[in-house]
Chains A and B, each alone.
Chain A
Amino acid sequence: MTPGILVCSETDEGALELLTKGHELAKQLNFELSAVVLGDRNDKTVQSYFEYGAQKALVIPNSSFGALDAETYANLLHEIAKDNGPDILLIRSSRLGKETAGRVAQKLQAGCITDAIGLNVKGQDLVVDRYALGGNTISSEIIKTEKKVISIMPRTFEAQKSPVQGKFEKIDLKIPPQRIQLVERRKKLGESVNIESAETLVCVGKGISNKEDLTMMTELSTLLKGELGCTRALSSDYHWISEDRMVGISGKRCKPKLNVSVGVSGQIQHTVGVMSSKLIVAINKDKEAPIFKIADYGIVGDLYQVVPKLIQKIKSLGT
């Protein structure tokens, strides 16, 4: 029996990203690639799984995301992966997926790595990269157990087509009643912006002393055709900026072409979220601020003088 890789994502977007990488790994390791489909679907989107390399789409009719909690999700994945089931589970590291990863790993007595940012086959080994020590380092690790559970940060891999002949397979699983009841789901307050796809980001931190001064920062980000992002303090502690703009280890991880950090000291918990930017610009009055260590360009100076000047100069370019 061919060993397998199983892709598990509650969103189609996530499934296609993981299938793309899964397909590459499956070829290198000579594994079979399958994907879990939650709910009784065989719509066009699910059919497109085959175009991204899935050899099997495992449809679980009596499940559907929305009513699914991590315990149930883990039970489902365990039923599929146990014994002769697939050895490598690639799970989208959404909050649901990350919680599920730990649970299913425990059931399978498997080693587990969460929030992976890289997957590479080296020799016979699958090497998994993740941030460690609060983002100070990247740890490259191998899972030694036969079953391997890996949750992968959303948007780590870009979905690319590589069509194969695939087939649907229905799996009827008994699903025990959930022990946690969902009472209500509501949208977060805020304008629900997706800063992760912004090409330019202006990230602001505690160097901003008044909420009113954000107007100036928004002007800069608009001028650069970008979005405003912020550190945890400005969102969680001060409540000046909605949480969907929070960047960092527990917020968004962004890959803009240009990131301008203004009044951001550069603590690792935040910078993890902008580390993949193509170009990083820092403006801070403290010459020793760690943000300058990861900057391509920087200005040591008072942001209240520098930012208006920048706005003026950029505006004059257009005229």
Chain B
Amino acid sequence: MKQVVDLQQIRIKRDTREPVLEGLPVLFGDFDKNALEEAVKIKETHAAKVTVLSVGSGKLKDTVLEALAMGADEACIVVDLACEGSDTGASALTLAKAIAKIGAFDLILVGEGSADNYSGQIGSRIAEILNIPQVTYVRELSIEGNTITAVRDVEGALEVVKGQMPLVISVTSEINKPRRAPLAQILRASRKPLKSWTLSDLGIDPSKVGSGTSAIQVVTNLAPQQERKGVIFEGDVDETAGKLVDALRKEGALQ
């Protein structure tokens, strides 16, 4: 799961169009919660253990509590300043090393993309590093023995596919509705096992990750230039509707 700033609260500086990210609350993205919810649902019908894995900042210990309260059995977090600015390749490497440390697994569940960058690369890269298959954009999942059957959402069509575990699954938001953690679970969450690792715990050379090694150089990251007219009518319905229709006629938008 990936810790992201609350995207709804991002302000844009008017003069420079830069986003203001300082001081924003951090949380897990919605697609990530769909992945966790599916894991917990599997646990409820099969004998399974659910581990949450996340790489992030110092606040991760608090963020991950929600995931534990939603039903994960344990959490493993990687917190290391050297990870900051990692590109998707370095992040996938860090996650893959952490997965190796966690040990045997049947399924790696991820969201279809992170809430902030939505690049969707992490699942693919982890599958490559671990040399296991991946099934993406899953909206229905069932497990029988070692075989998974999944309904994938591709453009305009649904695909039913079968594969053998272990594998990586990425889920869409249609797959479930993430539960709200019940209060009793929230209280209990802090007593669940939480392992916090640094890069050296994972045997990763800090010079191999982080902004210094990033394959991507960000030139600018600004809010799109808005050249909208911003003419907003208020007041009497008949009048405002009339003004809008007139405006659209002048724009040539009504035939």
Contacts and interface: CB of A to CB of B under 8 A. Distances in A.
Interface of A: 70-71, 74, 94-96, 98-103, 105-107, 109-115, 127, 131-134, 136-145, 179-188, 192, 200, 224-225, 232, 236, 244, 249-250, 257-258, 267-268, 275, 279-281, 287, 292-302, 305-306, 309-310, 313-314, 317
A226 to B, nearest CB: 10
B108 interface: no
A312 B120 CA distance: 46
B45 interface: no
- The 5 A-B residue pairs with the shortest CB-CB distance, nearest first, are A111-B215, A102-B124, A102-B121, A134-B7, A106-B128
A133 B7 contact: yes
A103 B92 CA distance: 11
Given A106-B124, A224-B254, A309-B241, A250 B8 contact: no
Given A143-B215, A225-B255, A300 B232 contact: yes
B237 A305 contact: yes
B219 interface: yes
Secondary structure of the A side of the interface?
mixed
A98 B120 contact: yes
A310 B120 contact: no
A236 B135 CA distance: 21
B244 A297 contact: yes
Interface string B96-129: 0000000000000000110111111111110111
B137 A95 contact: yes
A258 B248 contact: yes
A295 B4 CA distance: 28
B231 A297 contact: yes
A179 B118 contact: no
B112 A250 contact: yes
B173 A250 contact: yes
B241 A102 contact: no
Given A99-B123, A127-B219, A310-B245, 17 more contacts: A100-B124, A102-B128, A103-B124, A106-B92, A131-B118, A134-B4, A134-B118, A136-B19, A138-B222, A142-B219, A180-B163, A186-B160, A188-B157, A232-B173, A250-B173, A298-B231, A301-B234
